[in-house]
Structure formats: structure tokens, C-alpha cells
Structure 1
Amino acid sequence: MKTATLPPLRVEPELREAAERVLEAGESLSSFVEQAVRSAVSRREAQAAFLARALASRDRARESGDYASSQAVLDKLQQRLEAAKVDRRKRS
């Protein structure tokens, strides 16, 4: 596979120094920047997928007329939170 380059990036000297300070042993600034780009791409892809699922869900609800009340959603989230708290206490 052929490789490609990212465009050069001009930043404030303080940002470059901060990035260099947090490099791990054996890590280059280039690999740090590459990993940051990969993370940002992954996060944006996940956000886009989430939005697509949300819009599809909205459309299905509009078509069927089957909606969940906000209180029902909050109640379900509260149940999940309580169950997670219990599970966490059991593991501690």
C-alpha cells in the first residue's frame, strides 16, 4: 500500500512544546500527530453513525406514531444507572 502525507501544520510554539512534553518513550511527534488524527477521524465517524441512527429512529417513530415519553426514557436511564452502581459496588 502506498502512503500519503498530511499537509504541513503550523502551530504556536507553545503547542508544539506541549506536544513534545507528553510524548511517550520512543514516540515521535509524527506518530503522535498521526494517532491524534486517527482518533479524531474515528470520533467523527462514530458521531456521524450515531446521528444517522438517531435520524432513522426519528423517521421510524414518525411513520409508526410510536413514541416513548421523555419520562419513560429518563426512568429507564435511571434504572440503568442504579444497576451500574450496584454492579460497581459488587466489583469493589
Structure 2
Amino acid sequence: MKTASFPSLRVDPQLREDTENVLLEGESLSQFIESAVRNQVSLRKANAEFLARGLASRDKARQTGRYVDADNVLGKLQKTLQSGKTKRAKA
């Protein structure tokens, strides 16, 4: 597969300097930018999927009339969080 390139990007000189100052040893500016773009693409896909699941859940609840009380959900989440903290403290 052939590679493609992104358009040239003009930035403030301070942003370029700040970026160059955080590069890891042996990392190029191009590698950093590619990594940043990949991370943002992944994050945005995950956010879109999360939103789609939420909207589907909302629609299903409206169709069935079955809802879960927010206090029940928060209580279960709190128990899960506490369980994780307890396991982590023991480790």
C-alpha cells in the first residue's frame, strides 16, 4: 500500500519549540505528529461509539419503558470502584 501525506501545517514558533522540547530520544517531529493524529483518531472513534451505544440504550429504554434508576447505577459503580481500590491496596 502506498503511503499518503498530510498537508503542511503552519504553527506558531512557540508551539513548534514546545513540541520539539517534549520529543523522546530518537523521536522525530514527524513521528510525534503521526502518533498524536493516531491517538486523536482513536479517541474520536471511541467517543462516537460510546455516544452511539448511549443513544441506542436510550432508544431501547423508550421503546420498552424499562429504565434503571440512576441511584442504582451509581451504587453499583461505587461498589465496583471500592472493590477495585481494595484489590489494589492488597496488591
When the two structures are superposed, what TM-score results if normalisation uses the length of structure 2?
A: 0.96
- What SS does structure 1 have at the residue aligned with 2:41? helix
- What SS does structure 2 have at the residue aligned with 1:59? helix
Structure-1 residue corresponding to 2:5: 5
Structure-2 residue corresponding to 1:61: 61
Please report the RMSD computed on the Cα atoms of aligned residues, expressed in angstroms: 0.7
Identity %: 57
Instruction: For residue 25 of structure 1, report the CA deviation from its aligned partner.
Output: 1.3
Give unmatched runs, 5+ long, in structure 2.
none
Question: Which consecutive aligned stretches of 4+ in structure 1 deviate over 6 angstroms post-superposition?
Answer: none
Q: Distance in 2 between matches of 1:87 and 1:64?
A: 37
When the two structures are superposed, what TM-score results if normalisation uses the length of structure 1?
A: 0.95
Structure-2 residue corresponding to 1:18: 18
- What SS does structure 2 have at the residue aligned with 1:82? helix
Give unmatched runs, 5+ long, in structure 1.
none
Q: Distance in 1 between matches of 2:67 and 2:29?
A: 50
Q: Distance in 2 between matches of 1:2 and 1:47?
A: 29
Number of residue pairs matched by the alignment: 91
Structure-2 residue corresponding to 1:86: 86
Q: Distance in 2 between matches of 1:9 and 1:28?
A: 16
Q: Which amino acid aligns with 2:14?
A: E
Q: Distance in 1 between matches of 2:36 and 2:82?
A: 35
